[in-house]
Structure 1
Amino acid sequence: MTNVVFIHGLWISHTAWQPWIERFAADGHHAIAPAWPGEHEGVDETRRNPGDQAGVGIDDLTEYFAGVLEQFDTPPVVIGHSFGGLIAQKLLGQNKAAAAVAIDPAPIKGVKPLPVAQLRSAFPVLGNPLNRGRAKGLTEAQWRYGFGNALPVEESDALWRQWSIPSPGKPLFEAAVANFAPGSPAKVDTANATRGPLLITGGTADHTVPLVSAKATHRLYGKSAAVTDFHEFTGRGHSLTIDRGWRDVADVTLSWLKEREVTAQS
């Protein structure tokens, strides 16, 4: 049995991982999906109390999830989406995870491409400097552009109603200035040769983390002798972990774990 920890990104509830937990259980794995610090157990409660997450940054998230990983007897596998993918890479670089999968990950320090679509997706938060200390959600239309652009409008709106939550703005601001901040919390040890294997994915239709950004992240690992793989999801947007095609993404992840013979035992 392999232990797996799922980490969500901005604007999606941790409860959206439940179908993945069940899929992984069917394949013989034990998986959990902890809430972020300040996030409540249910979507509605999190929406009613956005301020409880305000001010949480990348270092806070890394420390928090490092504590989660330390609850296991041996390092588990970490699978993260978006900013969860950034955190997963940090934990792997610190040798706290047996392996990691970064699904359309938020850009780490060193990623230089900044496509217009990515800027537009982040503007609802980055457009107001005061949002650094706040937690903010996306409107239905903003979600449709950033997450559901590759979906029918009806499906995108349904996902927004079901899973969207307010999230802290601080991680987005930290990532936005990472290349100009020597001590940026978005820095990852990409040269670590002793870490476990890493899979990075990108979606060709992703607006929030465009494919060029995901590929740039992958290239930063070029100096490491450790395994770093890349998988491209054709026609998929940033909603790929929760929309009707989520099983394809989960199955690619499971197949990769088998291919790389990843086993993080309890």
Structure 2
Amino acid sequence: MTSPKPVLFIHGLWLHASSWEPWIGLFEREGYAPSAPGWPGDPATVAEARANPDSIADHGIDDVVEHFAGIIRGLDAPPILIGHSFGGMIAQKLLGQDLGAAAVAIDAAQIKGVLPVPLSALRATLPVFKNPANRHRAVSLTADQFRFAFGNAVSPEESDALFERWTIPAPGKPLFEAAAANFNPHSPAKVATGNANRGPLLLMSGGKDHTVPQSVTRATLKQYRHSEAVTDIVDFPDKGHSLTIDSGWREVADTALTWLRGQGL
């Protein structure tokens, strides 16, 4: 009997790993072996993360990649990687290093080489960039900041509920690293986009996303133009950055499952 295919869920900034719970339940029912381990320093619960922001602070992109690479090395087979926001960037880096069977990058943070920096993205990340010392700190969002950065495509009531349930402080370091990526030849935001032997990649974007607008995802797709490996893109015109956790999450998850089956996974 074939063992279930492992699936590794990777969250982004400001969301706890437990925000993947609905996805984990769905993927288990569909015959996969899913897990959402969290970033280095992430406490076990949302409450603990809010109470101990220093445990999360000062972890950069390379730290997170190596953390998940170590988890992958302990698995019986290369996993399917599903990441949201900065988790989508991490998933792409791991796939480029041939550590995944495939990857689904949902509203993924911009990788090195992506040039558009829309004004909405600058506003969404202003809580971090307004103080250079935040590079080494963990930064929390207010409910209003979350509403702009994540919950703008859902009702104010749903946005506030998501904020209360899932948000945690986030390290500022990855944002500073990504912002400087195109000026740093050795940037940790660099992805092996030319790898022709990697597994298939699906990029997903929300048309109303303020944090990672569609122009960023489209520009990311262009970075893969020199690779012969499968690179697909799906747009959700009416969704924002909360698309993995809000009331419309199932459409996103089902789209990912359909694509994975189409890849023989």
Name the counterpart of 2:192: 189
AA matched with 1:63 = E
Question: 1:233 Cα deviation (Å)?
Answer: 0.7
Which of 113, 130, 134 is the aligned partner of 1:131? Answer: 134
**Aligned position for 1:60:** 63
Which segments of 5 or more consecutive residues in structure 1 lack a partner in the other structure? none
The counterpart of 1:20, out of the listed 13, 20, 23, is: 23
Pair 1:233 & 2:244 matched:
no
Who is 1:111 aligned against?
114
Deviation string, structure 1 residues 197-234 (Cα, Å, up to 9, x no partner): 00001110000000000111011000000000000011
Structure 2: runs of 5 or more not aligned: none
Superposed, which structure 2 residues align to 1:58-207 within 5 Å? 58-207=61-210
Classify the secondary structure of the residue corresponding to 1:31. Answer: strand
Indicate if the aligned counterparts of 2:5 and 2:77 stay in contact, CA closer than 8 A.
no
User: SS in structure 2 opposite 1:125?
Assistant: helix
Tell me, in whole angstroms, the C-alpha distance in 1 between the residues paired with 2:26 and 2:76.
Answer: 23
Letter in 1 for 2:143: E
| Number of aligned positions between the proteins | 262
Q: How far apart, in 1, do the equivalents of 2:134 and 2:75 lie? A: 35
Question: For 2:257, what is the secondary structure of its paired residue?
Answer: helix
Q: Percent of aligned positions with the same letter in both sequences? A: 56
Would you say the 8 A contact 2:23–2:253 is kept in 1? yes
2:251 is matched with 248
Question: What is the TM-score with the length of structure 2 in the denominator?
Answer: 0.98
Work out whether residues 10 and 91 of structure 2, in 8 Å CA contact, stay in contact via their aligned partners in 1.
Answer: yes
Where does structure 1 differ by over 4 angstroms across 4 or more consecutive aligned residues? none
3-state SS of 1:132 partner: helix
Q: Distance in 2 between matches of 1:78 and 1:69?
A: 10
- Displacement after TM superposition at 1:157 (Å): 0.5
What corresponds to 2:32 in structure 1?
29
Q: Which residue of 1 aligns with 2:264?
A: 261
The Cα of 1:50 is off from its aligned counterpart by 0.2
Out of 48, 51, 56, the residue aligned to residue 45 of structure 1 is 48
- Residue 127 of structure 1 deviates from its aligned partner by 1.3
Cα distance between partner residues in 1 of 2:75 and 2:46: 27
Deviations 1:14-71 (A, max 9, x none): 0010110000011111100002111100100100000111110000000000011111
Shift of 1:88: 0.2
Structure with higher RCO (Cα < 8 A, 6+ apart): 1
**SS of structure 2 residue aligned to 1:101:** strand
* Root mean square deviation of aligned Cα: 0.5
Within 2, Cα distance between the matches of 1:216 and 1:20?
27
**Letter of the 1:258 counterpart:** R
Task: Output the CA distance in 2 between the equivalents of 1:99 and 1:71.
Answer: 17
Separation of aligned partners in 1, 2:218 and 2:102: 19
- SS of the equivalent of 2:14 reads coil
1:127 maps to amino acid: K
Following the alignment from structure 2 to structure 1, what is the Cα–Cα distance between the partners of residues 38 and 87? 11
**What's the CA shift for 1:100?**
0.4
Post-superposition shift, 1:2?
1.4
1:189 partner amino acid: A
Which of 201, 224, 229 matches 1:221? 224
Separation in 1 of the partners of 2:193 and 2:153? 31
